[in-house]
Chains A and B, each alone.
Chain A
Amino acid sequence: MTERMLMLLIAGRSSEQGTSLNKGKLKPEYQRVTSTAEMNEQDMARLDLKDGDRIRLSNGVGETTVTCTPRKITDLPSGIIFMPYGPSSSELMESDTAGSGMPISKNLTVTVEKVSG
């Protein structure tokens, strides 16, 4: 078992995010969807995680605590963590746009660790 892992966070769209934002971004469903991260089963096992466990994601910009849920390794390669765009992923985004206007929100290196209790 590993206590923490460096992973690449990819924020993106999902069907659930799209349907829940129509209900309202302040509603519990949108909050739940945008604070649920997907990892493959092997990565979850390495961190001794079960479906629904809480994990802390952190980098030099900030940190956020979200729930994790498993995906097959054929769908999500090891070392990658996926999360729908939202307030949680924003916590980890650097504001520097390198003169482009676009902050990077995919392939962010983050430390992932289990939140006990």
Chain B
Amino acid sequence: MSNNLRVVENATCTFCGCVCDDMILTVDDTEKRIVKAKNACVLGRAWFAEHTIEDAPAAMISGKPASVDDAVAEAARILVEARFPIIYGLSDTTCEAQRQAVAITDMVRGNIDTTTSVCHGPSGLAFQGIGESTMTLGEVKNRADLVVYWGGNPAESHPRHFTRYTVTPKGMFMPNGKKDRTVVLVDVRRTPSAPVANIFVQLKPGKDFELLWALRARVKGREIKADIEEITGVSLAVIDDLVQRMKTCRYGVLFFGMGLTMTRGRHFNSGALLALATDLNEFTHFVAKPVRGHGNVTGADNVVSWQTGYPFGVNFSRGYPRFNPGEFTTVDTLSRGDADAAMIIASDPASNFPKAAIAHLRRIPVITLDTKPTLTSSLARVAFRTSTYGINTGGTVYRMDDVPITLRKAFDSPFPDDETILRALKEKVQELLRSRMPRGAKSAFELPLSA
């Protein structure tokens, strides 16, 4: 560490969906790295400590260093020549970059999808079917006296969720912090989040829907059979105790994780939970909110929604946006072999997609934008090394409760940010498309761009 230190206050951690905006960063301007991140959790400390400036080319084409301009030109050629280009990722970049990605997809009549489709995409479907009784995290901090976590492990995935919003902080109507709240955790295993909860409910794997439906029945005063314990692993007495607490609290909240969406039932599980929250509003004020993973996955939902009308899995091949999960979501477009080119922005599907999807990624030209090498960038035809949002670049992100937060950069990076590359790519794509139009012809590409 050098003596050339500088403090950046009110910085934002973009590692997870909590998007904590109270970071106090100490920056070493000589070594170009953050040496201390006050207020950060264990994940945030690693996020800030590990995003340093590495000695690497800003762009590679077919594994060889290239100029950014050449890489942009090659990426544009790939996207324009493809018949079914897909654009995917977007949850770890700014809203400003996300809107450029939507514009490019629109121009090339491609398919845009975000990591939401493999995270809370099923919850997105459930929102459309059931609705969402929602709130901000500030409201929860100030008012919620019953906090239920279902199918999530925030102690490991969102460590400051408990301490900033839901369990320990004192709020306007919660003057004694944790003493004023009852915290319930529902999960199939006793995770490190369990010690935080007043009540831990351990259910059998894959029985979330059954338990949620039983709770709904009891909230409505219906009888259920005693064999519910055999089915779900949770006794009728525990169910009734939980129902009583839910109906008599002043302000209840259901936070739900991917324990609901990544298992059998998917959107039916999320829908059952949202319906339970709706039912409880007959008795008290109750809200529900998915606990979102990546730093700006909520922004991706918002940007893609306000640009196309749909949150993820959107296809422009007919010149207008169409939404169809299962058809236009990325696991499907890759596994079926539909896509003939892919641009992956700030994501690594080669690490976490089913192998049939990864096998197809290996067969088609891939463009990647990422801050670090990944399995996906290692198979890319064109790979851009980008600066890190919230550390090297400003912009806007959305917290998991849909609250937009402005980022403050800590130090400069020699690598361009995602928005800069995507803007250049959009211009190049437009240029190529115009050059392929018959002389004098007008098209939608001549209209003012949405971004």
Contact = CB atoms under 8 A, between A and B. Distances in A.
Interface of A: 8, 10-15, 18-20, 22-26, 61-62, 74-77, 80, 82, 85-87, 89-91, 93-107
Given A15-B156, A26-B373, A98-B326, A91 B189 contact: no
B85 interface: no
Contacts of A93: 353-355
Nearest to B233: A77
B171 interface: no
Interface residues of B, number: 60
A95 B356 contact: yes
A86 to B, nearest CB: 6
A61 B431 CA distance: 44
A33 to B, nearest CB: 12
Interface string B122-158: 1001000000000000000000000000000100110
B37 to A, nearest CB: 12
A105 B264 CA distance: 9
A20 B156 CA distance: 13
Contacts of B47: 22
Interface stretch (B211-219, B255-263, B405-413): B255-263
Contacts of B327: 99
11 contacts: A12-B259, A18-B157, A25-B374, A61-B354, A62-B355, A77-B188, A86-B352, A97-B325, A97-B326, A100-B267, A103-B354
Interface string B90-122: 000000000000000000000001000110011
B157 A100 contact: no
B189 A10 contact: yes
A95 B336 CA distance: 9
A74 B51 contact: no
Given A95-B335, A105-B262, A100 B352 contact: no
Contacts of B329: 97, 100-102
Given A91-B355, A95-B354, A19 B42 contact: yes
Contacts, number: 152
Contacts of A96: 335
A103 B122 CA distance: 11
For the complex of A and B, list the 4 residue pairs with the smallest distance between their C-beta atoms, beginning with the closest: A101-B329, A99-B326, A95-B335, A95-B354
Nearest to B312: A101
B378 A104 contact: no
Interface string B331-364: 1100100000000000010011111111000000
A36 to B, nearest CB: 15
A60 to B, nearest CB: 12
Interface in B1-57: 15-16, 42-43, 46-47, 49-51
B205 A76 contact: no
Contacts of A107: 205-206, 263-264
Contacts of A75: 189-191
A95 B326 CA distance: 11
Given A18-B16, A24-B373, A100-B266, 10 more contacts: A10-B188, A18-B15, A22-B49, A26-B375, A61-B354, A80-B205, A95-B331, A102-B329, A106-B205, A106-B259
Contact of B156 (A13, A62, A91): A13
B46 A98 contact: no
Contacts of A77: 188-189, 202
B89 interface: no
B313 interface: yes
B153 A12 contact: yes
Nearest to A20: B46
A13 B188 contact: no
A11 B258 CA distance: 10
A23 B373 contact: no
B372 interface: yes
Nearest to B124: A101
A50 B125 CA distance: 43
A14 B117 CA distance: 21
Interface string B152-187: 010011010000000000000000000000000000
Contact of B125 (A25, A82, A86, A100): A100
Contacts of B192: 15
Interface in B205-237: 205-206
Contact of A97 (B46, B331, B351): B331
Contacts of A10: 188-189, 205
Given A10-B188, A10-B189, A22 B266 contact: no
A103 B374 contact: no
A102 B122 contact: yes
A24 B190 contact: no
Nearest to A82: B189
